[in-house]
Chain A
Amino acid sequence: MILEVREIDVFYGSIQALHQVSFEVAEREIVTLIGPNGAGKSTTLRALSGLVRPRSGRIIYQGRELSRVPAHEIVRRGLSQCPEGRRVFVNLTVLENLEMGAYTRSDRAEIAASLERVFRHFPRLKERVRQAAGTLSGGEQQMLAMGRALMSRPRLLLLDEPSMGLSPLLVEEVFAIIQDINRAGTTVLLVEQNAAMALAIANRAYVLGAGRVVLAGAVADIRDDPRVQAAYLGDVILDAPGCGPAAGTDAAASRSREETRA
């Protein structure tokens, strides 16, 4: 296992965002965390990257405890995150954004090689290297954010909602690139609200609801599970305490996406 998360609890102030969340990711897998808005998917990734600290539980990455390591050290260990909402540095150029992605590395030749690899995955970025990142379209910003996360040469790449705000065509493109990245040897942990797309490319899935893992298994089993079917076809909200109306709208949203795809 490249990553083992064991019973982590995360709090924001007095509000508990994660309850005893456990899951694992094996080398070279694509694992997806799906679930409605507010289920704790992003919080889980933030905990892995050290942006929030679990109050209890363990995060073991490549056999070593991660939950007390500073965020900037975690990147050095080969765990990189492309955050929700892209979070590119809008006033920096595309090239500077990618350079920041390689901040932990010093070998110029290797950085140049990574840059070439990123341009192979995202040829459109190469045409825009001198442009301020804020002038890119949403899809280009998503590609920049993913390219930037790859510049540290991660062994484990965390992707938070890479499909958010993208047109269906771009979503297809981004997901194809995720598969390419994975085939090239990078393990991927993918957080998605677009469950159908995530389940289409992942090996295994965990379903989160109200800060708990409510279901885990191979994607085929998850896809056929009546509760997931129900949740993502929008009839019933996910069978977990505290899934509010947000879950309902989310289910409706993914149903309409399903329909577009069909």
Chain B
Amino acid sequence: MAGVLEQILNGLQLGFVYALIALGYTMVYGIIRLINFAHGDIFMVGAFVGVLGYTVWGLPFPVAVGVAMLVCAVLGVIIERLAYRPLRYAPRIAALISAIGVSLFLEYFCSLNFVFGPNYRVVPRPFEVTSFSVAGVTASNIMVVVTVVVIALLGALQYLLFRTRTGKAMRAVSQDHDAARLMGINVDSVISTTFAVGSALAAAGGVLYAVAYRQIWPFLGIMPGLKAFTAAVLGGIGIVPGAVLGALIMGQVDVLSAAYVSSQFRDAIGFSILILVLLVRPTGLLGSRQPEKV
């Protein structure tokens, strides 16, 4: 029984990381109806920058996370400006192809020797790992750090979206670009802000992922990116709470299927969920509106 609970805690930790990535997918989709396939690679860049921050650059861990978030926020804004904005009024498939191009570019550019290099790197931990057990269930301080950081960021996001002028403008733009323009909202800058926020969250997820799972390389973002995309679709793409719900489910599916079915089947099971959702309920668990084609 304790074993199952421990697996569920592991699933929760992974689900929290997925949530940070899934939020960016869903927010960007909500605002410009684009699946930003480069989002997983932003997560990867965040992981590298954060790890470099607390190792090579000698920054305290929280500062390293902040730097990674900042760098990725800027990266997200630049990507939108260069790769998506020129295609804003083109057929939607054009921006989607552009996103795949950006994704490949980031992966192979980061694989260059003068960037991050093509190899796996083992990540040193920024702090001592300690385990403790509560009622026979063992957990680690990493789990606590991940949980605290993710809850804090979700709280900050909630505050941004519902209490600030910028956040309300983001919600308004996601509903109706032209009506938002008629309010005097600069839609382009709201879209930039959305990319910045989504990319910063993914970067935080990247650093936490690196610390928790201890291996990074330039193709790190592909699988968690796809899982988080699945999570966003499962919860209802474009719906912020749906992304978190979907991510928590995907975390459990990943960990429990690896533990109790087979780790070889883990990804197959995860993506069967994607197919199933698209077939049975394309609007996702929390979605009620008409399904949108990607």
Write the residues of chain A forming the contact surface with B, with a CB cutoff of 8 angstroms. 49-51, 70-76, 80-81, 83, 87-92, 96, 99-101, 103-104, 148-149, 152
Contact = CB atoms under 8 A, between A and B. Distances in A.
Contacts of B180: 100
A87 B178 CA distance: 9
Interface string B170-211: 011001101111111111000000000000000000000000
A83 B178 contact: yes
A80 B182 contact: yes
B165 interface: yes
A148 B183 contact: yes
Top 6 A-B residue pairs of the complex, sorted by shortest distance between their CB atoms: A75-B184, A104-B184, A87-B179, A71-B181, A72-B186, A100-B183
Contact of A152 (B171, B178, B179, B184): B184
A88 B171 CA distance: 12
B168 A51 contact: no
Contact of B185 (A72, A83, A87, A96): A72
Contacts of B176: 87, 89
15 contacts: A71-B181, A72-B183, A72-B187, A73-B184, A75-B183, A75-B184, A87-B182, A91-B175, A92-B175, A99-B165, A100-B169, A103-B169, A104-B184, A148-B183, A152-B184
B243 to A, nearest CB: 16
Contacts of A104: 183-184
A152 B183 CA distance: 8
Nearest to A73: B184
Residue of A50, A70, A71 with most partner-chain B CB within 10 A: A71
Contact of B182 (A70, A73, A81): A81
A15 B113 CA distance: 53
A1 to B, nearest CB: 23
Contacts of B179: 83, 87-89
A50 B169 CA distance: 19
B175 A100 contact: no
A49 B184 contact: no
Given A96-B168, A99-B165, A103-B169, A89 B185 contact: no
Nearest to A158: B182
A51 B176 CA distance: 13
A51 B178 contact: yes
B178 A89 contact: no
A89 B187 contact: no
A71 B181 CA distance: 6
Interface in B189-246: none
Contacts of A50: 181
Nearest to A152: B184
Contacts of B175: 89-92
A72 B188 CA distance: 10
Contact of B171 (A71, A81, A92): A92
Contacts of A149: 182
Contacts of B178: 51, 83, 87
B280 to A, nearest CB: 25
Given A87-B178, A103-B165, 20 more contacts: A51-B178, A72-B183, A72-B185, A72-B187, A75-B183, A76-B184, A83-B182, A87-B176, A87-B179, A89-B179, A90-B175, A91-B171, A91-B175, A96-B171, A99-B165, A99-B168, A100-B183, A100-B185, A103-B184, A152-B184
Interface string B142-184: 0000000000000000000000010011011001101111111
Given A87-B176, A89-B171, A90-B175, A103 B185 contact: yes
Contacts of A103: 165, 169, 183-185
A92 B165 CA distance: 12
A96 B185 CA distance: 14
Contacts of A101: 183
Contacts of B169: 100, 103
Contacts of B182: 49, 51, 71, 75, 80-81, 83, 87, 149
A161 to B, nearest CB: 15
A128 to B, nearest CB: 18
A104 B183 CA distance: 7
B30 to A, nearest CB: 10
A152 B175 CA distance: 20
A92 B179 CA distance: 13
A75 B186 CA distance: 11
A49 B181 contact: yes
Interface string B2-27: 00000000000000000000000000
Nearest to A50: B181
Contacts of A81: 182
A81 B186 CA distance: 16
In this complex, the member of B172, B176, B182, B184 whose beta carbon has the largest number of chain A beta carbons within 10 angstroms is B182
A74 B191 CA distance: 19
